[in-house]
Amino acid sequence: MHDIRKALKAALTDIGIDGDISFSPVPNPEIGDLAFPCFSLAKVRQSSPADIALSLATDLSQKDIPFVLNIQAAGPYVNFFLDPQAIATHLFSHITSSYGSHKTGKGERFVVEYGCPNPMKAFHLGHLKNLITGESVCRVFSNVGREVIRVNYQGDVGMHIAKSLWGIFDWIDEFHAYKEKPLQERVEFLGRAYAHGAQHFEKGVKEKEDVVLYNEKVYTKDASIQEVYDLARSWSLSYFDTIYSKLGSCFDRLYFESEVFERGVALVSEGLEKGIFTKSDGAVIYEGSKHDLHDRVFLNSKGFPTYEAKDLALAEMHFADFSPHKVVHVVGKEQTEYFKVVFSALSQLVPQTTGKEYHLPGGYLQLKGDKKMSSRLGNIITGDALIFEVEKKVREIMSGDLDRAYSEDVLQKVSTSALKYAMLKSDVSQDVAFDMETSVSTSGESGPYLLYIVARINSILRKAGDVSSISDSVEEITVEEKQLLLKLSRYPDVTLAAAAIPYDPSKISRYLFDLAQSFNAFYHVCPVLQAKDADVRLFRLTLIKAISHVMTHGLALLGIETVEEM
């Protein structure tokens, strides 16, 4: 579509139109495929948009414009009818393995921070959605040529760790007994220990002090807790690794709060001297209120760094380690105001970060409907529990198909597609109401539906045998085929748009669903293998091969692998 628009723009420039030339979609294919609205010209030319459209259409009709079959003025619009044959020829010669990839981001290095669970705590639903979103964003970035560094920042110090440690030490014999048990059980123990500590913390002033003591022990690296701390931390991290690998993520660098808190203190002290921070009630704060934001505490009155201070040091490390062009924080949208304040302070403290820090706000994940599932999962619904439930459901559905036995690989891929597509189908900042039935269903807007389309196409291609030769010319192109050609030609624009601010993989998921629907419309009207004419058969095989390629490519950007059969 980019090439098509370029040709149209050139033609318009040729007849004296300057400035921003943009096109708009046409509501109905019967009146055209692409429109040029003439409203903005009306002011300059002191004439009605309709008159201008008419005169432009006449002028343009004199010219031979690539991809254009016919031009008509329709009210204030100049409508272009595109030539499906020319598009097919152009498209089929361009659909190679790199169709939809770009080099526009070449030379740019993006650090993407996502995942970010807290060691010794559960990997909950929010983390799951975040991981899936972040991974997709990384792929979308790589696809335009950017170098992507995947980083994961995890809180291995702080009050939540103190709570866990208090709980563990209160149950220390049990802790030692768990050393021999499977990872899953060890992690579940940690979860209980955390809850135990958190409860204790809430009981009263004295109990609170018990827990705070552990916080200080962690910060001062007290020898009495070190062995237990290290072990519990490593259990958690191994457990997170199993989830990352299951969902196809692999981090280049894990950052921990324990490695930034000291530097955080130093940076804030430095900033205090420079007048960037001020003292207030014994704490050190950044007066965001002077910059249309709100005030935040960076060092508490005991001199310990808050999350804010640690984030400053982390940012400094990002830049020291990778000199990124952009650091994208994939984090829940409730942190929006927080990031504004931190970025503002950071910009003054570490000027090279200015304009390079970006918060990508994610929506919340809520489970919808299914009461059975909610109760089975209990109050604490973890991310891996949801993964398990999806797998179980998919297995249930697929084992109902007695004609076929499915491999574990296929079951896994279908499950993953269900989960990931559900997370990525709407805008990143939109909350996701996860519905099990619609997510695993093969009809409707779901991952399995898209995989099914690809499997069908691949099945047809297998039956067709060798389709290495392509055909781009045919006597007549049907309306369904034309729609597919137009949609396929849009794909590179879509991948480019997804990689631009606001970064959003859902642009791709929506496109793929739309393409799949157009394929279905085509498929039920146009026979492929049984096409009467050999030319038509080859043309359609080439067409569906192109669709399969784009679908596979696009799904990969979402982190979804396709299957040959399902």
Partner RNA sequence: GCACCCGUAGUUCAACUGGAUAGAGCGUCUGGCUUCGGACCAGAAGGUUGUAGGUUCGAGUCCUGCCGGGUGCACCA
Near RNA by CB under 7 A: residue from 173, 227, 273, 281? 281
CB-wise, 335 or 412, nearer to RNA? Answer: 335
Helix (H) or strand (E) holding 461, with range, is: helix 447-464
Query: Which structure tokens are listed for 114?
Result: 């996502």
Among 50, 159, 237, 317, binds RNA (CB under 7 A): 159
Question: Does residue 75 belong to the site contacting RNA (CB under 7 A)?
Answer: yes
What token pair was written down for 42?
């009306």
Q: Which residues of 330-344 are buried (b: 16+ CB within 10 A; e: fewer)?
A: bbbbeeeebbbbbbb
The C-alpha angle 415, 242, 307, rounded to 5 degrees, equals 110
Interface stretch with RNA, choices 191-199, 220-228, 469-477, 509-517 (CB under 7 A):
509-517
Specify the long-range contacts of residues 472-476, CB closer than 8 Å, at least 24 apart: 472/88, 472/89, 472/91, 472/92, 472/93, 472/539, 472/542, 473/85, 473/88, 473/89, 473/535, 473/539, 474/85, 474/88, 474/533, 474/535, 474/536, 474/539, 475/533, 475/535, 475/536
Q: Does 513 bind RNA (CB under 7 A)?
A: yes
Residue 436 beta carbon to RNA: minimum distance, rounded to whole angstroms: 12
Q: How far apart are CA 218 and CA 180, in angstroms?
A: 25
Instruction: Of 494, 491, 490, give the one whose Cα is nearest residue 504.
Output: 494
Which range in 164-172, 240-248, 399-407, 465-473 contacts RNA by CB under 7 A?
399-407
Q: How far is the CB of 168 from RNA (least distance, A)?
A: 17
> Contact between 404 and RNA (CB under 7 A)?
yes
Q: Which of residues 50-69 bind RNA (CB under 7 A)?
A: none
Q: Is 336 in the site for RNA (CB under 7 A)?
A: yes
3-state secondary structure of 219: helix
Cβ neighbour number for residue 230 with a 10 Å cutoff: 10
Neighbours of 89 (CB within 10 A): 14
Q: Which is nearer to RNA, 204 or 282 (CB)?
A: 282
Residue 248 is a binding residue for RNA (CB under 7 A): no
User: Shortest approach of RNA to residue 26 CB, angstroms?
Assistant: 4
Q: Does 269 bind RNA (CB under 7 A)?
A: no
Site for RNA in 447-466 (CB under 7 A): 448, 452, 455-456, 458-460, 463
Residue matched to tokens 């002077």: 290
Only segment of 13-21, 124-132, 192-200, 431-439 that touches RNA (CB under 7 A)? 431-439
Q: Of residues 92, 175, 338, 539, which one binds RNA by CB under 7 A? A: 338
- Which residue from 85, 118, 347, 562 is in contact with RNA, where contact means CB under 7 A? 118
Residue with tokens 């960076």: 298
Instruction: Sheet containing 283-286: give its strands across.
Output: 278-280, 283-286, 296-299
Q: Among residue numbers 189 through 218, which ones bind RNA (CB under 7 A)?
A: none
The site string for RNA over 477-506 (x = CB under 7 A, - otherwise) reads: -------------------------x---x
Cβ neighbours of 44 (radius 10 Å): 11
Per CB under 7 A, which of residues 17..36 are in contact with RNA? 22, 24-28, 31-32, 35
Sole window of 55-63, 236-244, 327-335, 379-387 interacting with RNA (rule: CB under 7 A): 327-335
Among 3, 252, 321, 427, indicate the residue that binds RNA (CB under 7 A): 427
Q: Of the listed pieces 128-136, 181-189, 301-309, 349-357, which binds RNA according to CB under 7 A?
A: 301-309
Instruction: In angstroms, give the least distance from the CB of 118 to RNA.
Output: 6
Is 105 among the residues that bind RNA (CB under 7 A)? no
Instruction: Please report whether residue 546 would count as binding RNA according to CB under 7 A.
Output: no
Q: How far apart are CA 524 and CA 342, in angstroms?
A: 55
Could you say whether residue 113 binds RNA (CB under 7 A)?
Answer: no
The reply to whether 412 sits near RNA by the rule CB under 7 A is no
In the block, tokens 């400053």 appear at: 312
CA distance 397 to 374: 20
What's the rounded Cα separation, in Å, for the pair 491 and 502? Answer: 18
